[in-house]
Structure 1
Amino acid sequence: MPKIEETVLQNDPSEAVTGAHKPKTPGQSQENKSFCLDDHSPDLIETVNEVSKLSIAHEIVVNQDFCMEESVLPPNSLEGRFMETMYNAFWDHLKEQLLSTPPDFTCALELLKEVKEILLSLLLPHQNRLRNEIEEALDMDLLKQEAEHGALDVPHLSNYILNLMTLLCAPVRDETVQKLESMTDPVQLLKGIFNVLGLMKMDMVNYTIQSLRPYLQEHSVQYEQAKFQELLDKQSSLLDCTTKWLTKAATDLTTPSPSSLGSLSSSSLGCSPPNWAANSSELPSPTMVLYHGYLNLLLWDPDDDEFPETLLMDRIRLQEMESQLHQLTILASVLLVARSFSGNVLFSSPEFVDKLKCITKALTEEFNSRPQETMVSVSEQVSWEIHQGLKDMGLTALSSENTASLIGQLQNIAKKENCVRNIIDQRIHLFLKCCLVRGMQESLRDFPGGLSLIKGELAELGWNFFNLMHHNQQVFSPYYAEILKNVIPQAQAQETEVESV
């Protein structure tokens, strides 16, 4: 694949991928809502395009696995069946036209026109000689004249296209292109050419993305700030939900309650940062309010549409993190209860712990929809694994009384008020708070008790959360600072009024 850095860096870095297939990533979905836009704005289409560019550039920076993939419809879906029918009908019609006497080249010309456009899109600006050669060989006016006289040589054109594909394709497509060379049926050959060209186009897009990533990472903060400011200039209300989100965070910290994350003791984790308001007489620092707001995102009601605008591009990604956090809470609760009954000897075996993790993860996939039934299955399987593990190690088996207690405590994890589950949930949230306040390296060195069995999984979640929030803070810090300058005193004033009443 030729190098393209000198090409893409001359243009808007997001434009290289705006025309490709819809990407499939953990952070993007059709459910992801765009910025609130006034439907009557004359700049609506332009604004939507700017949001699209911003979203793609942001995704490339924060998602190292971002790539474009072929959009495949479910085969049994109505849309899938319709598209398959239309697709087959085209190729059947092309075959009928080529076999008719005299041959009809209408569909073939349309196909060749599309193929020409794809081939040209795979070229770099400096490949002028090859561009001119393609323009000459696939001159649509000339081909149309040949078709009208029945002199269009489809096999010759197909071979020419195959030679170009061999020259332009990535090494991973060499074998596929070579297989096309053995095809003799002109319709099947054109179908194969068209399909492989689609893959080559995605290869070029993904190579462009890889080339863009270092550039975007270096300039992403300035780029996203500039794009967001352009949107804000067109719609002044673009920060309304962000203001409400930060106001709630400030209120949480100035009016601590037992259910508030801000009221949880940080000292137990060694996470007692300066300026984190310990009581309502102190004003929390803007940074601590922002961090508290970030943590609130992991408790967000999915039906609440007032998600902060500055984080809309990451809403699906944050929902996935919230789901991971919930799964880790259940997993750690199960492991903690199981270890309390079976002892440290059995849990000192990494193989046993890994096996128990795999079993628990598999059985708790449907926990949200069927918590009681799920934990019944978990309790039965975990108790059996502990019984078998103790037996294999020559240790004393659990008594029937302890087995019944183990099963009962595991099944109680299904209840939201379960004390083990609540403690684990609080400690995970406090760990994430420490990741933001103290940084990842220091937080990992001082890992919270009770979570050591899920250290690897929690560390991965912590890094993802930290990196995402750090990037967001860099991009939107000027807007956050201006908002927090107003909402923190307001929250304090409201609390003072309540106390006076």
Structure 2
Amino acid sequence: MPLNDERLTSTSSGEDQGSDVDSSSDRCDSMTLTSDLDCSRESFTSDSSSKHCTPSSSPPKTITLDEVMDTAKDLFNLSISHEITVNPSFHVDRDSLRQDGLLKVVRDNLHKAFWDILEAELNNDPPEYEQAIRLLGEIREILLSFLNPGANRMRTQIMEVLDMDLIRQQVDNDAVDIKGLASYIITTMGKMCAPVRDEEIKKLKESPENIVTLFREIFRVLDLMKADMVNHSIKSLKPVLACHGVEYERARFQSILDAVPNSLDRTTSWMKSVLEELLSAAVPQEQKGQPPVPGPFQILNAAFLRILTWDYNKNLLPETLVTDETRLQEIQWQLQRSQAVNEVLLIIFSTIGGPIEGLPSLSDRLKKMISVLLDGMHRPDFNLEKSLEGVSAQICCELNKSLTERDYPALSPALQTTLTGQICSITQKDNPIRTLVEDRVQQYFKALICDPKPRVKLEQVPAGLAAVKPELAMLGAKFISLVNYNKAVYGPFYADIIRKLMFSSSPAAGRPPQDTAQDSVVSN
């Protein structure tokens, strides 16, 4: 039978990404988030907390095949519900495989073999209808799947017209009307399809006499109708998930945790490394003779801040962040490019100085030029140093043009060489301009993560980052939206992990952690 080629796709503009997370948090999750983190706070200082706030972890055990399948289903449902919640443009689309992909070759060959067999059978004398009957049976099941529970009349009609036993009897008596059945199928599809498919149905009615070609087109339109139905269901689910997505995702994750041992190993390692880093960086308190213990929210916020510089080539993301891996990587890539653009602009204006100060149009042109030339700098095959040499050459040309237009002398060869060298030096990790920009970007995101109302601080970028303020604000909104939703879903799991780590660590074992004012509940 023809293969049903569908895929889940998510396309959205930068502005829209994560907007559903904000709106759902604002509408339905603020009470839930506060409650969950309050319960989490209690769990840091007590061995018991309310039942619904304390996640349970299972001891190691042997997993059966059925449990593996159930876990895979839970993981799929978790991923889909999360995607529907955080991606406003999430939808189902028919699979468009790469033209040179092996899977496409296999699929096309299988399809061709099926349709060739069908055509050969129908062209026999007398015709054979075995493949055609199977085809009609599959079409009947697809049509029935489109019906609402109360559509009994149409269900009965479809079962009567596409009665496989009756059709087989007609075949045996050489009385089957394949074209008449195809006409009924097309008419029924026209009654069920969305208005957007009316033109496709019209084309089916005008299709050529070749019955094989007609059935191929019928299946193509049925695939479109299936995608329409799923997208309608997704649209209907969005309001429900907006209010109950947090609880649903947490329940699905708990099911995975119950079934699969060590499901939070990477998350625990992530939190442990952050705690150790904070403890080692703490300044000793002379009066107490021991360093101050970081609070649980301080640990959690520092952990999320680390995700911005996560090395995806060396380490897998924590289990609680895998559903947002693509989004987090995209934020990191865009942030790296924005930092590089800002570093180059700082070098330009500090090196050239007065003749180009106070020229916003020039600054904008240089920014766009640098951004375009550094596009894709996250790719492994991207040669940053060579690209920066090209950036420097383009910048020198643009500066010379601007200077001569305003009766200033062009840049001397020595100054151009100096400028190029300074720009290319940002590839070095200890470059002072690079260090300055990266530190201030970290300050900016730390302020967003730690503030209960981060939207107020989106436009408050540190000094020296004004050139990329719009980009930072956009990336900050995306990142904080994902972080706050993640905290809402996995807050109890984080609380349980951090509590165990803190009460088992030395020298603070047995001593309750103290939260600072900035470690208050973070919610959008």
TM-score above 0.5: yes
Distance 2:403 2:129 in 1: 76
Deviation per residue, 1:339-377 (Å, 9 max, x gap): 433633333457525632553344746576422222222
More off after superposition, 292-301 vs 192-201:
292-301
Is 1:146 the counterpart of 2:177? The answer is no
Q: Larger relative contact order (C-alpha < 8 A, sep ≥ 6)?
A: 2
DSSP-derived class of the 1:448 partner:
coil
Which residue, 114, 124, 136 being the options, matches 1:100? Answer: 124
Q: 1:463 aligns with which of 444, 461, 477?
A: 477
The letter of the residue matching 1:251 is E
Assess if the C-alpha contact under 8 Å between 1:334 and 1:410 holds in 2: yes
Give 1:38 shift: 7.2
* 1:397 positional shift: 3.3
Matches within 5 A, 1:13-162: 21-25=6-10, 40-42=63-65, 43-162=67-186
Whether contact under 8 Å (2:349, 2:357) holds in the other structure is yes
User: In the alignment, is residue 331 of structure 1 matched against residue 332 of structure 2?
Assistant: no
The one-letter code matched in structure 1 to 2:219 is F
State the match for 2:430 in structure 1: 417
Of residues 188, 191, 194, the one that matches 1:167 is: 191
* Deviation (angstroms), 1:183: 1.0
Choose from 281, 294, 303 the match for 2:291: 281
Aligned residue-pair number: 450
- What's the TM-score once normalised by structure 2's chain length? 0.78
User: Within 1, Cα distance between the matches of 2:465 and 2:71?
Assistant: 45
Distance 1:176 1:494 in 2: 70
Secondary structure of the 2:262 match is helix
Counterparts in 2 of 1:147 and 1:289: CA distance versus 1, 3 Å: same
Determine the C-alpha separation between the residues in 1 that align with 2:88 and 2:219.
30
From the superposition, tell whether residues 26 and 40 of structure 1 become closer, same or farther in structure 2 (CA, over 3 Å).
Answer: farther
**CA 1:366–1:402: 2 relative to 1, 3 Å:** farther
What is the identity percentage for the equivalent residue pairs of Structure 1 and Structure 2? 33
Q: Which residue of 2 aligns with 1:318?
A: 328
Name the counterpart of 1:296: 306
Question: For 1:315 and 1:280, how far apart are their aligned partners in 2?
Answer: 38
2:242 aligns with 217
RMSD: 3.0
Name the counterpart of 2:501. 487
Q: Could you tell me how far 1:255 is from its partner in structure 2?
A: 1.4
Quick check: 2:502–2:508 contact (8 Å CA) kept in 1? no
What residue is the counterpart of 2:318 in the other structure? 308
User: Aligned in 2, Cα 1:235/1:78: closer, same or farther, shift over 3 Å?
Assistant: closer
- Asked if 1:190 is matched to 2:215, the reply is yes
Partner of 2:417: 404
**Distance change >3 Å, CA 332–CA 112, structure 1 → 2:** farther
Tell whether the 8 Å contact from 1:26 to 1:316 is kept in structure 2 after alignment: no
Moved more, 404-413 or 282-291: 404-413
Choose 58-67 or 484-493, whichever is displaced more.
484-493
Q: Matched residue of 2:458: which SS? A: helix
Q: Note the C-alpha offset of 1:122.
A: 1.8
* Counterpart residue identity of residue 388, structure 1: K
Q: Which residue of 2 aligns with 1:441?
A: 455
For the 8 Å contact 1:221–1:475, the answer to whether it is kept is yes
Q: How far apart are residue 428 of structure 1 and its match?
A: 1.8
**Residue 245, structure 1, aligned to residue 270, structure 2:** yes
Q: 1:113 to 1:357 in 2, by over 3 A?
A: farther
Counterpart of 1:475 (choices 486, 489, 493) is 489
The DSSP-based 3-state class of the residue aligned with 1:237 is: coil
User: What residue is the counterpart of 1:5 in the other structure?
Assistant: none
Deviation (angstroms), 1:201: 0.4
Deviation at 1:384, TM superposition (A): 2.1
* Paired residue type of 1:205: V
Partner SS state of residue 345, structure 1? coil
* Alignment correspondent of 1:352: 365
Gaps of 5+ in 2: 13-56, 284-288, 510-524
Give the whole-Å Cα distance in 2 for the aligned partners of 1:366 and 1:245.
25
1:221 partner letter: V
Change (3 A) 1:390 1:226: same
- Alpha-carbon deviation of 1:139? 1.6
Query: What SS is found at the alignment partner of 2:92?
Result: coil
2:8–2:93 CA contact under 8 A, matched in 1: yes
- Tell me, in whole angstroms, the C-alpha distance in 1 between the residues paired with 2:259 and 2:98: 39
For 1:442, give the aligned amino acid: V
- What is the TM-score of this pair, normalised by structure 1? 0.81
Looking at structure 2, the residues matched to 108 and 208 of structure 1 have their Cα atoms a distance apart, in angstroms, of: 31
Structure 1 residues 242 and 396 mapped into 2: Cα distance closer, same or farther (>3 Å)? same
Check the 8 A contact 1:166/1:174 in 2, yes or no: yes
Q: Which residue of 1 aligns with 2:385?
A: 372
- Cα–Cα, structure 1 residues 229 and 82, in superposed 2: closer, same or farther, change >3 Å? closer
Deviation at 1:198, TM superposition (A): 0.5
AA of the residue aligned to 1:324: Q
- Which residue does the alignment assign to 2:30? none
- The whole-number CA distance in structure 2 between the counterparts of 1:329 and 1:175 is 49
Q: Is the 8 A contact 1:242 1:310 kept in 2?
A: yes
2:441 to 428, 437, 447: 428
Residue type at the aligned position of 1:173: R
Matched-pair contact (CA < 8 Å) for 1:61–1:217 = yes
Deviations 1:448-491 (A, max 9, x none): 22222222222221111111111111111122222222323545
Q: Distance in 2 between matches of 1:325 and 1:213?
A: 30
The answer as to whether partners of 1:367 and 1:374 remain within 8 angstroms in 2 is no
Q: 2:275, 2:299 within 8 Å by CA — same for their partners in 1?
A: yes
Q: Distance in 2 between matches of 1:79 and 1:236?
A: 34
Counterpart residue number, 2:26: none
